[in-house]
Structure 1
Amino acid sequence: MIVYTAKKKAFIEDVRLNRIHEKILLEFRRRLSRSVAAKEVDSWRHSLQFMSNLMLDQAIPDDAGVSLEYHIPLTSKRIDFILSGANEQRQETAVIVELKQWQQAEPLLHKDGIIRTPLGGGWRETSHPSYQAWTYASLIRDYNETVRTESIRLVPCAYLHNMDDGSAVNDPVYAPHTSRAPVFISRDAERLADFLKQHVRYGDERDLLYRIENGRIRPSRSLADAVLTMLQGNDAFVMIDDQKVAFETALELAHRAQQGKRQVLIVEGGPGTGKSVLAINLLARLTDRDMATQYVSRNAAPRAVYEAQLTGSFKKSRISNMFRGSGSFMDAAPDSFGALLVDEAHRLNEKSGLYGNQGEHQIKEIMQAARLSVFFVDEAQRVTLKDVGSRAEIRRWAERLGAEVTELGLASQFRCGGSDGYLAFVDQLLQIRNTANDDLESVDYDIQVVDSPQALRQAIVSRNANNRARMVAGYCWDWKSKKDPVAMDIELPEHDFAAQWNLTRDGSLWALAEHSVEQIGCIHTIQGLELDYVGVIIGPDLIVRDGEIQTDGRKRSSMDRSVRGIRKLYKEDPETAKREADEIVKNTYRTLMTRGMKGCFVFCTDPETNAWFREQIQTPSANPVMRAADYEALPYPLLDLEEVVPFENALPVYDLAVAAGEFSDPQAVEDCDWMQRPDWLKAEPGHFVTRVVGESMNQRIPSGTWCVFRAKPAGSREGKIVLVSHRDIQDADTGGRYTVKRYHSEKSADDDGQWYHTRIVLKPESRLFGYRNIELTEDAASDLQVIGEFVTTLS
């Protein structure tokens, strides 16, 4: 997504008239339904003035493209400034400029790509601007097929326009990074202008950034698929910003620990922030440095999955020497390892052994066994009563053992569509914490509530093309099939639904097993792993009454060790039991709902709860009435409600996003604004007015044109222009689940002579390159909703 885009000449004018920050902020609010901090608005005003001054160079073509705040797909990162056009050889080029308002910096000679600068009220370590710009370009290359298939050049650089002394950022230690992405300071304005002219000699004639923004996104690589490549010494993931800082800090601490005091590093991060990627990267790098290093986890599932991916490429003895359970260090000699990398450290237990009665404390045993212990923690993923891996507990043991503690945080988001907003929404939804993210308007992630477990199963099976979609559930049903292979575990007779828990033969490899899409996993077989799509069944341990979530650990299966002892605790200390169970139940569903990289489908077994979740999760259009500011270029005036005679002298006006939802009776005067009916138009009930934005139909409907549609048309739609909605559509122009296209369908008759769709094709009609047909197969076609049929344009 690009927040602002214009030609160079228009950009300079927006800056000259001191309205550039207002335009960016307006687009943030319109496209993301949120604002930004005043400090960021001030940075736009300040930094973009410097860029505008550079753009005054006449050798930079007036029709070069300027794009601001480009959101890198599948991440939470944005690029400040992009100049697009073509170089001397007519190769299409996008110059990525990372803007910094830094005034001071200090080089760090012992950490690759890391520098110190005043941030947030103190001196902090952060990634070097050149490294940052280069990684952003690399992410676009990795994710965007348009960039790769059309050989588009991405040229990164950084501009520190407030910095007078460039000795720190240009220290020779950063040469590998500045050679790939040069850094410019305040006195380098002319050099930067020359750099821009070198790479953008001609204008952007084919809307380069528009094609990049709407290009096909390459599926994200999963850690499980990349673990072999990483352990063979190859870079499978680009580490950005806080990830890079954590990686380099761990390497430095590993070296320091060999020479002096024992070191402990706590890395805190939520789901999808790259904790496991960091752990495997460190395992590869430290092992390559001949340091005895092991990946440690309490949960067997991720270890089993990673080991399975290595089988056949590494010797079994080598694999077993790299991956260990957290209870393996009871008898380890002190300092047996150079480093132990503890993933999902929040899952650590106090005791070890089959009956939980061996050893003293897992945290202590791990720290004693290694010179460096790295604990990757997300306390909101504590999902059993025995989980003790909190930051406070880790610090307590470090102090007792005389170890130095370093703490870092990860914020960069790579799961859930790269959306921090979705994670905050889940916390708000489950009433874990108040995040103010009570809707999904700004979230580009496929989250849906379905009406039945069959619908959930169908949704997941249909998305399992890459064997990366699975159903999971709260552990509220006994695992009967563990002893009786034909028994059903999760039975919901009111829905005529039955399924088994993950098969015993698959064990911890359930997430990889070929046919396991038919089974249902639980927290123990999915925590620490990621999927493309996850289907979550919320059981009776979490219900909603009068808008309040109620949890009850006693509704869990007695076979679930997560809450073993909870029933006794309810009798002895009800308040403590309720508080403990509430945290564990909510954290369990939070963890399950954040396993999917692309989407999450939810079904609640309690009807009232399912209805409440549906109400919360649907993208709200709480106020479908458009305000005056939204009626840009509306060709006919709005009428006061007292004047309105529906469809005789007035037509209802809707925002396109609202029209694409299930808006109410179009004759309900109080629910919308009404526009004066044109004299030449014969209106009829069901007509409505909306604005079509985007270029996919510009041969017939120019972008921004106000149009009349006929709501929910009857009869054949073949060959007609229609406004449609579908869960699998991501419109190239709006990013929404709705689109305006030319409709074509192919049909067949069943044995009873009834016709059904075998394929629906939604065709763009654009003069611009890059738009593709949207094709829906038989299964997907049944979910297509035709919102309206195009009648005419109004301008």
Structure 2
Amino acid sequence: MLSQTTNAATQKISPDLPLTAKQAQLVQHILAFTARHLTTAGPAVFALYGDAGTGKSVVLAHLFNQIQVAARTQDASPFAHTENYFLVNHPEILKVYREIAGEHPHLLKKDFQRPTSLINQMAKDTVHPDVLVIDEAHLLLSQADHYNNFYGDNQLQSLLTTAKVIIVVFDETQVLRMKSFWTEARLEKLIAPYPHETYRLTHQFRMQASDKLVRWINDFTHQHLHPLPTDVGANYDLRVFDDAEQMRQAVVRRNQEVGLSRIVSTSGYPSTLDGGKHYITEGEFHLPWDQYNYTSTPWAELPQTINEVGSIYTCQGFDLNYVGIILGPPVSLDEHDHLAIHLDRYTDVEAFKKRADLTDPTELVHIKQQLILNSINVLMKRGVKGLYLYAHDARLRHYLQQRAL
């Protein structure tokens, strides 16, 4: 059945996808903002806020397609002959956008870039961007990162030095690493000196879940634990498992039925970037972490990845039909039924690398705990049709089971 879902990811953010009336109005508003500031001095910024699944990416896809059609075909347009790029700092999502480009006559694969690549081209004076559209701007680096060949202090600041208009999509609840640590307050402080507008999307488009379940996820990932709602949506399947292997089998069945169903996990299990396989074991459950995907196909669309465990780095920004989540050792329930986050059990060594501008010990503990909670938020909102849960911590597992009526 998986063949029926080939290119499913591209269909969910394609510029051919119909927009709601409000989304179409928003695209036109951003186009007008961009055209107005193309001829003014200094950069202008439009910030689009919204939680996971609120339709940010499809708005950007429509917006960028219209900009490029005008740039390449409409000599009377304010966008005529402008040089524009779409940036995303996530390799799996970049693959989806480049696949979309191959299906549209006025979108070129080279229009879609990683931020570091474009910044380095700007430094060599080989590109001169007019308009930049940035998806997942919360993944932009906010400090130097030699591993990614970025030697500046902040990627957005570097991009502002050249571009005339920048449109960013931003969700602070999807910030996952210290090297890309952002908050709305930090973003707003950075863009305050420039002409700017903001807009917040609130309607949930991805998940066919009830508003009550979406609120429960948001509360859970801010350490506000309360019973799972009984009303999760007529077309949504929520299950809590006592056995991770049974959950895996349920996800495999869903994958056979409708495709794009995968097991994912939080950090907290052996994981090293050494090219080898590292396994997650929970009772009879025993599968390796996702392997680096060298193909042009997104990880979740590769048939063999039904036998791997996905991470935030392969799933962020990507829609699955059903997602089975393992809440690993860093997450537990204490004796007072409060959600506890254990930093010492987090095995993603890249997440907590030091940075010079964050030194207060109390603040650092809070930030690191929130990064872990953000990763859970990202994973829990991957499933369009269903969410399956298994918790490593027996107390948390039983708490969730007893209240999932």
TM bin, normalised by shorter chain, reads: 0.7 to 0.9
CA distance in 2, matches of 1:394, 1:268: 11
2:175 equivalent to 1:375: no
Q: CA deviation at 1:505?
A: 4.3
More strand by share: 1
Please, what TM-score do these two structures have when normalized by structure 1?
0.45
Corresponding residue of 1:394 = 187
Q: CA deviation at 1:226?
A: 5.2
Query: Deviations 1:501-550 (Å, cap 9, x if unpaired)?
Result: 11234578312212111101111111111111111111011111131011
2:332 equivalent to 1:537: no
**Structure 2: 5+ residue runs without aligned partners?**
72-81
Query: Deviations 1:330-373 (Å, cap 9, x if unpaired)?
Result: 55269922321111112221235543660131111222232111
Corresponding residue of 1:611 = 398
RMSD: 3.1
CA distance in 1, matches of 2:95, 2:51: 22
Corresponding residue of 1:256 = 36
Corresponding residue of 1:579 = 366
CA distance in 2, matches of 1:489, 1:259: 55
Q: Quick check: which has more Rg, 1 or 2?
A: 1
Secondary structure at 2:321's aligned position in 1?
Answer: strand
**Structure 1: 5+ residue runs without aligned partners?**
1-218, 620-795
Secondary structure at 1:374's aligned position in 2?
Answer: strand
Residues 258/302 of structure 1: CA separation in 2 closer, same or farther (3 Å cut): same
CA distance in 2, matches of 1:503, 1:385: 23
Corresponding residue of 2:75 = none
Corresponding residue of 1:498 = 286
Corresponding residue of 1:272 = 53
2:153 is aligned, of 350, 360, 384, to 360
Indicate conservation of the 8 Å contact 1:341/1:374, yes or no.
yes
Which residue type is aligned with residue 365 of structure 2? K
Corresponding residue of 1:420 = 211
2:244 equivalent to 1:463: no
Corresponding residue of 1:15 = none
2:172 equivalent to 1:384: no
Residues 476/309 of structure 1: CA separation in 2 closer, same or farther (3 Å cut): farther
CA distance in 1, matches of 2:164, 2:37: 5
Q: CA deviation at 1:285?
A: 0.6
Indicate conservation of the 8 Å contact 2:86/2:113, yes or no.
yes
CA distance in 1, matches of 2:302, 2:91: 15
Indicate conservation of the 8 Å contact 2:177/2:350, yes or no.
yes
Secondary structure at 1:561's aligned position in 2?
Answer: coil
Secondary structure at 1:329's aligned position in 2?
Answer: helix
Indicate conservation of the 8 Å contact 1:416/1:594, yes or no.
yes
Corresponding residue of 1:547 = 337
Corresponding residue of 2:18 = 237
Please, what TM-score do these two structures have when normalized by structure 2?
0.84
Corresponding residue of 2:78 = none
Indicate conservation of the 8 Å contact 1:297/1:326, yes or no.
no
Corresponding residue of 1:439 = 229
Corresponding residue of 1:593 = 380
Which residue type is aligned with residue 263 of structure 2? M
Corresponding residue of 1:49 = none
Residues 615/340 of structure 1: CA separation in 2 closer, same or farther (3 Å cut): farther
CA distance in 1, matches of 2:229, 2:200: 26
Residues 419/373 of structure 1: CA separation in 2 closer, same or farther (3 Å cut): farther
Corresponding residue of 1:715 = none
Secondary structure at 2:133's aligned position in 1?
Answer: strand
CA distance in 2, matches of 1:254, 1:601: 42
Aligned length: 381
Indicate conservation of the 8 Å contact 1:330/1:359, yes or no.
no
Corresponding residue of 1:285 = 66
Query: Deviations 1:297-348 (Å, cap 9, x if unpaired)?
Result: 222220023324555x579x93022333356325526992232111111222
Report matched runs for 1:274-353 at 5 Å.
Answer: 274-290=55-71, 291-308=82-99, 310=101, 313=103, 318-325=108-115, 328-330=118-120, 332=122, 336-353=128-145
Indicate conservation of the 8 Å contact 2:88/2:136, yes or no.
yes
Indicate conservation of the 8 Å contact 1:382/1:587, yes or no.
yes
CA distance in 1, matches of 2:232, 2:285: 35
Indicate conservation of the 8 Å contact 1:481/1:488, yes or no.
no
Residues 308/377 of structure 1: CA separation in 2 closer, same or farther (3 Å cut): same
Indicate conservation of the 8 Å contact 1:542/1:550, yes or no.
yes
Q: CA deviation at 1:552?
A: 1.7
CA distance in 1, matches of 2:163, 2:24: 23
Q: CA deviation at 1:399?
A: 3.2
CA distance in 1, matches of 2:54, 2:156: 23
Which residue type is aligned with residue 108 of structure 2? R
Secondary structure at 1:273's aligned position in 2?
Answer: coil
Residues 505/437 of structure 1: CA separation in 2 closer, same or farther (3 Å cut): closer
Which residue type is aligned with residue 396 of structure 1? K
Which residue type is aligned with residue 327 of structure 2? I
Secondary structure at 2:48's aligned position in 1?
Answer: strand
Indicate conservation of the 8 Å contact 2:12/2:58, yes or no.
no
Indicate conservation of the 8 Å contact 2:212/2:231, yes or no.
no
Residues 320/478 of structure 1: CA separation in 2 closer, same or farther (3 Å cut): farther
Indicate conservation of the 8 Å contact 1:327/1:353, yes or no.
no
Q: CA deviation at 1:418?
A: 5.4
CA distance in 1, matches of 2:63, 2:156: 20
CA distance in 2, matches of 1:318, 1:529: 21
CA distance in 2, matches of 1:314, 1:489: 40
Indicate conservation of the 8 Å contact 1:341/1:373, yes or no.
yes
2:304 equivalent to 1:523: no
Which residue type is aligned with residue 11 of structure 2? D
Query: Deviations 1:639-672 (Å, cap 9, x if unpaired)?
Result: xxxxxxxxxxxxxxxxxxxxxxxxxxxxxxxxxx
CA distance in 1, matches of 2:60, 2:224: 28
CA distance in 1, matches of 2:99, 2:250: 27
Query: Deviations 1:676-724 (Å, cap 9, x if unpaired)?
Result: xxxxxxxxxxxxxxxxxxxxxxxxxxxxxxxxxxxxxxxxxxxxxxxxx
Which residue type is aligned with residue 550 of structure 1? A
Which residue type is aligned with residue 143 of structure 2? K
